[in-house]
């Protein structure tokens, strides 16, 4: 007979070996592409924008993060795009980086993190401090990127959550949509809906989400042992200057519109209401409101929808200044 406790110990050892093996593969992949990207950054052309997509796609495969993508990034025909997404984990960077052609906007302290800062700089991440004395300078940096043709990826919650809801958006983050470059704004929703091939429920969302006082090393040690799937909805782009009623969509109205859209999409994914179909570019998944309708209703996407899949516990609110 197998001694009591031997099987669980064996599984723990195998899980740790799996996690370490994936980490080593990601490190090797990074060391292979990082020097190439550092050379490309100093040159003209699209290669410096294309290689990060290839890099993050490879990382997703190496850590066994499957991506179920519904929709297509906007083809703005010369206009830049600001992708606006919800945020629950450092895994969002990998998943969205593999799908969205753009530069992340991240908090300034990440620029001092070992190794991660190298990858972030190579990916042409824009670091912001969010302090009042540097607001003007940082906004100029963002606008110059848009005017140079770069797309931006923004997390307007300003924090990560436990993944059970979309946190309130900070409308000040959408100030960049008023840039002279006149970017389109495209809502993007990401939800981790499969863990080891089974639907994610509320009790195991904290395994995937990164919030509170969690450190990234111990969080990866747990989540890196599992198979994951993220469903990403790339919603209909919004042109703040071309609305149906002919009025310019202000910053607060734009923020409310996107927050509602993303909240509705996230709830639909968690509750399994999307099905397996993919939407075409420019379409809105069935049952979701159009941009102007969400502002007019004033309704909260989370409040109006069921909290989550049947049988799950009430929503916990948890957040920290991480991304």
- Write out the DSSP string of 164-186: SSPPPP-GGGGGGGGSTT--EEE
55 found inside a domain = yes
121 found inside a domain = yes
Three-state SS for 104? Answer: strand
47 found inside a domain = yes
How far is residue 291 CA from its own chain's centroid? 20
Is residue 96 within a helix (H) or strand (E), and if so which, with residue range? helix 91-97
**308: number of Cβ within 10 Å:** 20
1 found inside a domain = no
Distance CA 103, CA 69 (A): 19
CA distances from 250 to 65, 178, 237, 240 (A): 37, 9, 16, 7
The answer to whether the CB of 272 falls within 8 A of the CB of 309 is yes
Instruction: Find the domain containing 270 and state its range.
Output: 8-320
297 found inside a domain = yes
CATH code, domain carrying 34: 3.40.1130
What confidence score (pLDDT) does residue 76 get?
60
3 found inside a domain = no
Tell me the mean pLDDT per 10 residues along the chain, length 323.
62 83 95 94 90 96 95 84 92 95 86 83 86 71 90 83 75 84 93 91 80 73 90 92 69 88 90 58 38 32 36 34 47
2 found inside a domain = no
252 found inside a domain = yes
How many domains does the chain contain in total?
Answer: 1
Distance CA 317, CA 323 (A): 17
């Amino acid at each position: 007979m197998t001694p009591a406790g031997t099987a669980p110990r064996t599984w723990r050892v195998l899980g740790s070996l799996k996690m370490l093996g994936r980490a080593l593969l990601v490190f090797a992949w990074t060391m292979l592409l990082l020097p190439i990207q550092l050379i490309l950054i100093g040159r003209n052309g699209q290669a410096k924008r294309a290689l990060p997509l290839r890099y993050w796609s490879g990382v997703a495969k190496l850590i066994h993060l499957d991506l179920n993508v519904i929709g297509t990034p906007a083809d703005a025909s010369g206009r830049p795009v600001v992708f606006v997404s919800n945020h629950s984990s450092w895994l969002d960077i990998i998943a969205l980086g593999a799908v969205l052609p753009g530069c992340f906007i991240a908090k300034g302290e990440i620029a001092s993190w070992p190794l991660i800062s190298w990858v972030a700089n190579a990916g042409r991440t824009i670091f912001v401090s969010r302090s009042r004395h540097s607001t003007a300078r940082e906004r100029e940096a963002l606008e110059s990127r848009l005017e140079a043709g770069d797309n931006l990826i923004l997390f307007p919650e300003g924090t990560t959550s436990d993944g059970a809801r979309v946190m309130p958006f900070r409308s000040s983050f959408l100030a960049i949509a008023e840039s002279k470059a006149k970017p389109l704004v495209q809502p993007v929703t990401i939800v981790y809906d499969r863990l080891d091939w089974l639907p994610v429920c509320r009790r195991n969302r904290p395994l995937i989400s990164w919030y509170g006082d969690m450190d990234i090393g111990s969080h990866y040690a747990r989540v890196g042992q599992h198979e994951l799937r993220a469903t990403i909805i790339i919603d209909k782009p919004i042109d703040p200057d071309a609305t149906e009623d002919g009025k310019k969509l202000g910053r607060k109205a734009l923020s409310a519109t996107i927050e509602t859209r993303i909240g509705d999409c996230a709830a639909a994914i968690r509750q399994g209401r999307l099905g397996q179909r993919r939407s075409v570019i420019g379409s809105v998944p069935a049952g979701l409101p159009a941009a102007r309708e969400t502002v007019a209703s004033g309704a909260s996407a989370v409040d109006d929808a069921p909290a989550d899949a049947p049988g799950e516990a009430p929503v916990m609110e948890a957040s920290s200044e991480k991304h």
